[in-house]
Structure 1
Amino acid sequence: MLLEDYASVMAPAVTGIPGVEVTIGTGCRVIGKQSLGELEITTIETDGELIRVSLEVPLGDIEGYWYPNASMRALPADWSGRDKTSIISSSPLGCVYDRHCKAILAFCFDQQIEESQLRFGVSEEHKSFVIYYEHDPKGPRTIRLATARAGLDHAEAVGLLRDWLRDDIGEPLPVPFAGTVPVYCTWYAYAQNIDAEKIERDAALATALGCKAVIIDDGWQKLATGRWYAGCGDWMADPQKFPDMRGHIDRLHGLGLSVILWVAPLLLGEKSDAYARLKPFAPYHNADGWRASALDPRYREVREHFVATCIRLIRDYGVDGLKIDFLDGVVAYQGTPTGGDIPDVGQALHATLQQLKTELKAAGLDEALIEFRQAYVGPATAPYANLLRVGDCPVDANQNRRATVNMRMIAAGQVIHSDPTVWDHRAGAEPAARQLLNAYFSVPQVSMDLSSLPAVQRDAVQAVLQNWMEDRETVLFGEVSAGLPSEGYPVVQARHQGRLVVGVYQPLVVEIDLDGVTELRLLNATSHERIVVRWTGKSRRLSGIAHSARGDVGMPLEVDTEGLTELSIPVSGIATLSVLNE
């Protein structure tokens, strides 16, 4: 169906990409081909006509299609698969893979800033998988298509494409140590019902549990009530909740915590003092969702407001960084006319972020922590945000894990943060630990009313975070493997400098290779009190201990790595093993 939809405006193209049928728009032409290691680069030119490219591969032993905004449905039909990409949403990158997790077709286009459209899926008529890419250049333009060699591991192929894109975007924003340590976040704990006393009380408890940073989320600003955003626009602290915001931040710093402040500088509420001045630049009103309007960054006045707001908050309140939310709200303006000086929404937001980065540096604030949220997490964001957070998925531990792995594959130097973990405070230690174990391969965030947390759950949080800090270098910066995206990454492994961390999330046989490993950490996030391991490589002797979710019960483990081994590890527990004969 998809091929037939565009047949009249497409023509075959000679690209030399093995095993891939390529067609391009009739107003386009191939002007260059280059081999670059495992990548093939094809350059396509247009005099102003729509850039259209289709890629078709036989189904073979296909398992799924991965892309940054992917859902759990691995193989859509070609009439249903769609993705809009720009700097504020996803990335023009994808990978068709087989059941052995090998790439059948991995590709990307180098247009990361402006809006592009992708359609994709299984062609019922042709028994093939088809990708269709379209971009309106609004003038003469060249665009490059990169494809990775078929047969590479899916994650390796995506990584090569990510790194190729990164070469075009400039230096990533440095990540300070404060962006790589556990975080206490106020959002799921209290929503907008926060104040200085409540945060300082919980911050002291969070420090004792192992958190080293705090996010003051939505609710600190004036007129922040009722969960909505009609008061947004002024970005001043609520004088009732935070009578001395700078003093409050200083007291949090005194606890040894870095502080990140939530802000949504592109939201404008009708109750704000800024509303009358900025309303001409915010025609889109989201009555059912935000109950506020979205400022259009295509106007210079909006970009200046955005940058000035961010600089002022960091400077005046002394925070260490900002959690910048709802940037993706401006997708409502894509393809619409504007009276602004930049016609494309993606280009306008890119200009906004460039200006913010420049002015942060000029103000001596270039080491600020800047957090972006899924789905504006593509490689193009790397120069402007050093922290990328999983999109909202409260209590959905599996989605937190899946999104963490997906985002790690496209992060271009940024550190991934989990969505804040939350659980039922009445449910015991295991559910609390399980949430954190699913966030283990990112920077874990915790968001509970810590003052009412029972002792067993405080112990569980402290135990997991203590282990996580020991594994921090491995899980954040090590080599990660996670298997098939279509299976939701039931086993995740990270290796770094002799340490191997293995998270097991489904009760299946786990293959572990101990080559070069001196320390092994096993996370049992399954519902069973055991993990079954098939050891590969030469036989070794392991010795260690398995702790319960609460961390208070230790069971000795002595293991000979011969064939299959059943290891007794409590539900939501952690085992630590040393290799005795490496």
Structure 2
Amino acid sequence: MIEVALSGQQIEFEWTVDGQDISDWSLVREEQGKWEYRSGAFEVHLSVQKQSEKVVLVSVVVEKGGAAFDLNRFKVRLRSPLRDLHRVWMPNLLLEGQLERVSLQWGFAYLTAANRCMPFVACLNRAGRNRASIGLMDQTTETEVRGCGFDAEARYVIELSRPIEGITLRTKEYREDVYLNCGEGSWFDAMTDFTQTYDALTGVQMPKLHPNAADPLYCTWYAHGRMVDQEKVLAELDLVRELGFRNYVIDEGWFGRGPEAAEFRGDYTPNPKKFPDMMKVVDAVHARGMNILLWVSPFQIAKKSLKYPELKRYLNQRDRLGELPYFRPMLSPWVSGTVQKPDVEERGELCPRTGITETYVPELVAGLIRDYHLDGLKIDFVDQVSVLPCTADHEHIYPTVGEAMARTMQAMDAAIRKVKPDAIIEFRLPYANIFLRPFATLYRAQDCPWDWDQNRRQCAWIQSFTPGYGPLAEADYISWRADERDENVAKAVMSAILYCVPSIGMDFQKLPESHLKIVKHWLEFYQAHKEEIVRGQWQPLEFDPHTSTFAIYGVQTTFVGLFKDVLGRIVLDGEKPLERLYLFNGANTSCIHTRLEPMEGEYELIVFDPFLEEVGRSKAKDVDGGLNLSLTVPEGGMVEGVRIGREGEKTMRRR
């Protein structure tokens, strides 16, 4: 084991090569930011690639004098003193819906790869400030991330190791770039810096976005489920367009030979009984000035699919027990006809380490866009491809799932861009990570349509590693009951426009007029401020698991989301534009009682109700560099504040 002190933290490195642990390392050379160690025929070179006062990127290279060797395991371990350290934050909590467990956990373990999560962990204090964050720049190789409560010297221990059990890498040189951040920022700041460091190291380039990529998106999933059909789509298009949506997604249910499309994943041709004329649907969407996307799960093959006999031998096998280890039962909650009938779906995923996957997946998705004149795709379940080693009896041409998935996703993206360079591609949170960003337009929150708090915290996480240039964060398709309170509907829709790209999944034909009015007016507000919201700097204002208070700093306007009942002092960035700002009341009380700092001068304050109708005006002047506010603001309403004296400024009016 090699131990190095960096930025006040102890970092340990271990290697298992040629089936043996190497433990007797000797330091043979040390100079400014560089160390050289030797153990028998092996050498290790450590060098600092990036260093500020609190942020370090260390390159770690192991070699055997030019000879090839088997790398069985590389481990890097952080031992961070339990001094003002009370929280551990990691991406995996979001994937498991456990963000409320941001605590000093006794232990944790999870896997990452090119198609799932990220090798990154942050240690925080109770205020949410970073104390020590560690991550690996290589985002593709399968990695096991572990943590344990404390060691004998009262230090929290985090370990990242790769490759995982069952994988051996044959190489002449093995390199890792290890990121360590001990700065005073929040978890959000640490994640953003980690991303920017990765971008600088890899030179990654983001694709040009479709001009309508940030427009409001409607999806059929929560409205119609797998019972979607051509008649339902055509019946609602005019209303969807009138409410302000410009992107229309037909989710799972459009293909196959029966009512439950999931039974036929792999057969991506329109169901003749449900969509007898798909081109008529596509033309109808386009005629209304909207873009159309179809759902597809390119890696999954269902047992009833016509593709199954051809592709079954290439399915991923990871459980050595059972007759069909690559299938697993899934319960479908959707209503079939008038009877709620859970259906068991048997399906598996293509093994990405076989050569056929790298050609089949790109040809499938590009063909859908080309053949049906689509504007994009909702590509689902990329994360379902297991990161564990496949044990099936077929050829594996790539040593790791991570490398194989990277090659397939790169080929898929190239095939899509060849057909439609600005295609709108939606990914879901479990596989929305740093590596896959160039291949997606939208990163959508994991399924949480009824919970706008969960939606917000997931989109806050997405905002932390897509800083200003994509993909765009997208709310999961907001949903509510037809008998919901108007105030709650407004809070849900208001939340969606502040995540970034608003998306809704309601059957609008069944909603009362008041709900439709709320949707229409809030989407109008979003369109009026879209560029500032989408391109603005998204920043949490305080630490809590729900990210209840946050700001979006645009070029000319600041937007402040307030989603908690009791507000303390809110400190904004004084370097950002504060002449005009909006305060959104997403709390459960009709009052905004807080102090905003730093604020100078006198402001006119205009209060709007959930329908964005003006209901009051007042003025407030700064006291010692801040505004003391105690305003009556309806739930689901907002306040517009404009500094008095700005010539030519107008307040937000819809009419």
The residue type paired with residue 109 of structure 2 is: R
2:549–2:561 CA contact under 8 A, matched in 1? yes
Q: What number of residue pairs does the alignment pair up?
A: 568
3-state SS of the aligned residue for 1:165? Answer: helix
1:30–1:42 CA contact under 8 A, matched in 2? no
Higher relative contact order (CA 8 A, sep 6+): 1
Structure-to-structure mapping, 1:191-210, within 5 angstroms: 191-210=225-244
> Which has the larger displacement, 528-537 or 29-38?
29-38
Structure-to-structure mapping, 1:367-382, within 5 angstroms: 367-382=422-437
Partners of 1:477 and 1:64 lie apart in 2 by 31
The residue type paired with residue 570 of structure 2 is: E
Partners of 2:589 and 2:599 lie apart in 1 by 28
> Which has the larger displacement, 551-560 or 369-378?
551-560
1:540–1:581 CA contact under 8 A, matched in 2? no
- The aligned residue for residue 49 of structure 2 is 34
1:286 and 2:328 correspond:
yes
Partners of 2:62 and 2:330 lie apart in 1 by 41
- The aligned residue for residue 273 of structure 2 is 240
3-state SS of the aligned residue for 1:142? Answer: strand
3-state SS of the aligned residue for 1:287? Answer: strand
The residue type paired with residue 548 of structure 1 is: D
3-state SS of the aligned residue for 1:32? Answer: strand
Cα deviation per residue 1:252-307 (whole Å; 9 max; x = unaligned)?
A: 01111111111001111122211111111124112235432222122222232211
- The aligned residue for residue 225 of structure 1 is 259
1:75–1:122 CA contact under 8 A, matched in 2? no
Partners of 1:216 and 1:557 lie apart in 2 by 46
- The aligned residue for residue 366 of structure 2 is 311
- The aligned residue for residue 570 of structure 2 is 511
2:55–2:183 CA contact under 8 A, matched in 1? no
3-state SS of the aligned residue for 2:330? Answer: coil
Structure-to-structure mapping, 1:314-325, within 5 angstroms: 314-325=369-380
Partners of 1:325 and 1:288 lie apart in 2 by 16
- How far did 1:224 drift? 5.5
- The aligned residue for residue 8 of structure 1 is none
- How far did 1:418 drift? 0.7
> Which has the larger displacement, 334-343 or 490-499?
334-343
3-state SS of the aligned residue for 1:543? Answer: strand
Partners of 1:303 and 1:230 lie apart in 2 by 24
Q: Which has the larger radius of gyration?
A: 2
- The aligned residue for residue 291 of structure 2 is 258
CA RMSD in angstroms comes to: 2.1
Partners of 1:121 and 1:210 lie apart in 2 by 49
Partners of 1:281 and 1:531 lie apart in 2 by 58
The residue type paired with residue 383 of structure 1 is: P
Cα deviation per residue 1:404-457 (whole Å; 9 max; x = unaligned)?
A: 001111226311111000011111312211212222222111111111110010
Q: Do the aligned partners of residues 332 and 345 (structure 1) sit closer, same or farther apart at CA in structure 2, a change above 3 Å counting?
A: closer
- The aligned residue for residue 490 of structure 2 is 433
Q: Do the aligned partners of residues 512 and 210 (structure 1) sit closer, same or farther apart at CA in structure 2, a change above 3 Å counting?
A: farther
Partners of 2:483 and 2:148 lie apart in 1 by 44
Partners of 1:397 and 1:541 lie apart in 2 by 34
Partners of 1:224 and 1:429 lie apart in 2 by 38
The residue type paired with residue 301 of structure 2 is: L
> Which has the larger displacement, 284-293 or 241-250?
284-293
- The aligned residue for residue 136 of structure 2 is 109
1:223–1:232 CA contact under 8 A, matched in 2? no
- How far did 1:484 drift? 4.7
The residue type paired with residue 430 of structure 1 is: E
- The aligned residue for residue 394 of structure 1 is 449
2:425–2:439 CA contact under 8 A, matched in 1? yes
Cα deviation per residue 1:33-60 (whole Å; 9 max; x = unaligned)?
A: 2334463121223452411110011122
- How far did 1:20 drift? 0.7
> Which has the larger displacement, 510-519 or 134-143?
510-519
Partners of 1:187 and 1:525 lie apart in 2 by 26
- The aligned residue for residue 36 of structure 2 is none
The residue type paired with residue 589 of structure 2 is: H
- How far did 1:359 drift? 2.2
Partners of 1:407 and 1:207 lie apart in 2 by 28
Q: Do the aligned partners of residues 285 and 469 (structure 1) sit closer, same or farther apart at CA in structure 2, a change above 3 Å counting?
A: same
Partners of 1:295 and 1:184 lie apart in 2 by 30
Structure-to-structure mapping, 1:118-267, within 5 angstroms: 118-123=145-150, 125-136=152-163, 138-140=169-171, 141-167=174-200, 168=202, 170-223=204-257, 225-226=259-260, 229-267=262-300
> Which residue, out of 16, 19, 22, partners 2:8?
19
> Which has the larger displacement, 434-443 or 554-563?
554-563
1:386–1:415 CA contact under 8 A, matched in 2? yes
1:172–1:386 CA contact under 8 A, matched in 2? no
Unaligned runs of 5+ in 1: 1-10
- How far did 1:560 drift? 2.5
The residue type paired with residue 287 of structure 1 is: P
1:474–1:501 CA contact under 8 A, matched in 2? no
- How far did 1:154 drift? 3.3
> Which has the larger displacement, 128-137 or 526-535?
128-137
- The aligned residue for residue 272 of structure 1 is 305
Partners of 1:485 and 1:296 lie apart in 2 by 41
The residue type paired with residue 233 of structure 1 is: G
Q: With the length of structure 2 as denominator, give the TM-score of the two structures.
A: 0.83
Partners of 2:77 and 2:350 lie apart in 1 by 35
1:218–1:224 CA contact under 8 A, matched in 2? no
Partners of 1:533 and 1:307 lie apart in 2 by 53
2:169–2:399 CA contact under 8 A, matched in 1? no
1:61 and 2:84 correspond:
yes
Partners of 1:158 and 1:495 lie apart in 2 by 18
- The aligned residue for residue 109 of structure 2 is 82
> Which has the larger displacement, 159-168 or 286-295?
286-295
Partners of 2:545 and 2:216 lie apart in 1 by 28
Cα deviation per residue 1:11-51 (whole Å; 9 max; x = unaligned)?
A: 2422x411111111154744322334463121223452411
1:341 and 2:397 correspond:
yes
2:78–2:134 CA contact under 8 A, matched in 1? no
Unaligned runs of 5+ in 2: 17-21, 23-43, 64-70, 94-98, 318-325, 332-344, 647-655
Q: Do the aligned partners of residues 26 and 295 (structure 1) sit closer, same or farther apart at CA in structure 2, a change above 3 Å counting?
A: closer
Percentage of matched positions with identical amino acids: 23
- How far did 1:332 drift? 5.9
3-state SS of the aligned residue for 1:190? Answer: helix
The residue type paired with residue 162 of structure 2 is: H
3-state SS of the aligned residue for 2:7? Answer: coil
- How far did 1:216 drift? 0.9
Q: With the length of structure 1 as denominator, give the TM-score of the two structures.
A: 0.92
Partners of 1:577 and 1:421 lie apart in 2 by 28
The residue type paired with residue 110 of structure 1 is: M
3-state SS of the aligned residue for 2:506? Answer: coil
